[in-house]
Structure 1
Amino acid sequence: MCNYGGGLGKSLKPFVEYNEPGKIMIIETPQSKSAQLSACWGPIESARAKVRGAEGVIVSGNVRQVDQFQDAGLPVLSRGIAALGPREYMRLGSVNETLAIGGLKVDPDDILLADDDGVVVVRQQELSQVIESCEYGVKHDEVVLQAIAEGSTMKEAWRKAYDLLGPPVEYARPFRR
């Protein structure tokens, strides 16, 4: 995890070397208008991160030259794409510290799950609750989809899922500030 734009005054290049194999790299970029015109990640950083064993990269700002790295087997999720590379105001600020991305607090030991739909952050101590809730959700959706395929209305399908599975396993805490 790194804050990209703070006080260490180094480029992002050394950050890739801090990565431990099997980890997801998270980069918080400045949110100023000028910073949002530039990208801080591209194919060179992706190539080195892949060699270092990264499982993926999440960037709160922009990336560039996506076509050159998207098939490399390293998932990279970003807020956007920009043609310009990093500017002088984008420098490594800190490493392995808590970040705030999109108003969400992300700690170095958090578990991250990410795909094209977005990113989910789970605290270690909440993992079993989240797994239980997700397993219920998958079973629920399977029952509802099957009931709909058999001709049930939405209301009937949801009732069938409730009758078979019981009430939902509640776990909802979408924001940590």
Structure 2
Amino acid sequence: MCTYGGGLGQSLKPFVEYNEPGKIMIIETPQSKSTQVSSCWGAIESARAKARGAEGVIVSGNARQVDQLQEAGLPVLSRGIAALGPREYMRLGSANHMIVIGGQRVDPDDVLIADDDGVVVVRQQDLSEVIESCEYGVKHDEVVLQAIAEGATMKEAWRRAYDLLGPPLEHARPFRR
């Protein structure tokens, strides 16, 4: 994980050089009027990040050049989209350090699960438990959707899932730091 936290320091341009192959880059952008109308991530940064072996990018600010980002094949999740590129306010704050993004603490060894619905941060020590809970949830949803497709009511569909899979795992609870 490579994080950007703002502040004084080097230009954003070498930021992508801090990423390690197989890692996700996380960019925490300070919220201000200028960051609301400009972006800190685009096609050029994505091209270099992909060349460095990044697996994806999560940006708490804006990205731009969405079509080119999608063509690049490197998943980029951002808070928003802005046509305006980065300005001089963008400076590397730190790399491979803990940050808080979206109110959530993220440490360099955390596992990130991300898609178009959002981002989940999982601590290493919770990973196997989270995977087990997710596997149950996926199986549950498959059973419920199949039952509904066959004409079952919601109550009947949920009962079928319970009968086939048993109760939800006792440890299936929100994970908090």
User: TM-score under structure 1 normalisation?
Assistant: 0.93
1:83 counterpart residue number: 83
Paired with 1:174 and 1:91, the residues of 2 have a C-alpha distance of: 33
Residue aligned with 1:152, SS: coil
Residue aligned with 2:44, SS: helix
Could you say which structure has the higher strand fraction? 1
- Gap regions ≥5 residues in structure 2: none
- Gap regions ≥5 residues in structure 1: none
After superposition, what is the alpha-carbon deviation per residue over 1:90-109, rounded to whole angstroms, capped at 9, x for unaligned? Answer: 21111111111111111100
Residue type of the partner of 1:26? I
1:60 counterpart residue number: 60
1:132 counterpart residue number: 132
1:30 touches 1:36 (CA, 8 Å); kept in 2? no
Structure 1 position 113 matched with structure 2 position 113? yes
Cα offset for 1:122? 0.9
After superposition, what is the alpha-carbon deviation per residue over 1:36-62, rounded to whole angstroms, capped at 9, x for unaligned? Answer: 211111111111001100011110000
User: TM-score under structure 2 normalisation?
Assistant: 0.93
Matched pairs, number = 175
Q: CA RMSD in A?
A: 1.4
2:74 counterpart residue number: 74
After superposition, what is the alpha-carbon deviation per residue over 1:13-32, rounded to whole angstroms, capped at 9, x for unaligned? Answer: 12111111111100000111
Residue aligned with 1:25, SS: strand
Identity of aligned residues (%): 81
1:6 counterpart residue number: 7
Residue aligned with 2:71, SS: coil
2:5 touches 2:99 (CA, 8 Å); kept in 1? no
